[in-house]
Amino acid sequence: MHITRLATFFFQLQAVADQRGWTIGRTMRELGRYGYRAAETATYELSPAVFSEMQDAGWSVSNLYEFPDFLSCDPDMEIDRIMTAVDAWSPSKVMVIPRENGRCGEELRPVWNAIGKLAAMLDERDIPLMMEVFVLGFPSYATVSGMQSYLDNVPDLKVCFDTGNLVYGGDDCLATYRRWESRIAHMHLKDWSTSDDHGPYVFRAMDGRDIAPVPFDGGFLRIRDIVSSLGYSGTVAMEQTPCRDQLAAEIASARAVAELVEA
């Protein structure tokens, strides 16, 4: 695996800032010492002031993500809202985490159609549109099989590959990577623990294990085997939250992934 840019999440930056009493700008500069240069950011997290601090720190938006409701809202208005954010914050990539409102199967056709339309608009700007296996709220795409339905129905949709989110459904990380390799445009590196030493439990996996955050390479995933086997090249975002000492977790994760890539 070749990392061209190391990113973290804006909510993790905010956690560091809150815990340390720092500004977002100072937090970015401090984490920049460990190789971080970009943020994964939800549309509602950014403001002109925050974006200015990001630019002053030499950071950029690696991935702008949104939770659109293409079923209860006018799909074109949701698409316009996302495109307005793209114009404002200049992200390298965009990810949608669509609301399903209890729908399944062909009932999701309006969602697939809207995602396809958005993907085509972003493609004109050379910005990939992605989804990931996403656990919180347990949508149909919380598992690989559910995510595959979106990929089958939206040919231009790309994958944000998240090493940690596959745990919920018990899906194999390496097998899933190989299955989707041609469509992977981005990567979230995440590890998990069954103890709450670093932070509180986040969810219960389908096998009954309670899952809690941990700095990268400090949990039960076969991270060293996984990373050494991936042919991915591009931006990698480190995700470990909520940790009681978020700064320590960010630093530990950056150091661990650097050692793994250099090994």
Domains in the chain: boundaries: 2-187
Q: What is the identity of the amino acid at 166? A: L
- Please report which confidence band the pLDDT of residue 64 belongs to, taking 50, 70 and 90 as the band edges: very high
CATH code, residues 2-187: 3.20.20.150
- Please say if the pLDDT value at position 180 is more than 60: yes
What pLDDT, in 10s, does the model give residues 89-116?
999 999 999 999 999 999 999 999 999 9
Q: What percent of the chain lies above the pLDDT cut of 90? A: 79
Please report the pLDDT score of residue 263 as a whole number.
55
- Please say if the pLDDT value at position 126 is more than 60: yes
Q: Is 46 left (phi over 0), alpha (psi -120 to 50) or beta?
A: beta
**74 vs 205 pLDDT, higher one:** 74
Long-range contacts of 171-174 (CB under 8 A, 24+ apart): 171/133, 171/143, 171/144, 173/221, 173/222, 173/226, 174/225, 174/226, 174/229
- Please say if the pLDDT value at position 231 is more than 90: no
What is this structure's pTM? Answer: 0.95
Q: What is the identity of the amino acid at 119? A: A
- Please report which confidence band the pLDDT of residue 154 belongs to, taking 50, 70 and 90 as the band edges: very high
Among 36-50, 55-69, 199-213, the least confident range: 199-213
Helix axes 75-89 and 109-123, enclosed angle (nearest 10) = 30
- Please say if the pLDDT value at position 24 is more than 60: yes
Q: What is the identity of the amino acid at 195? A: S
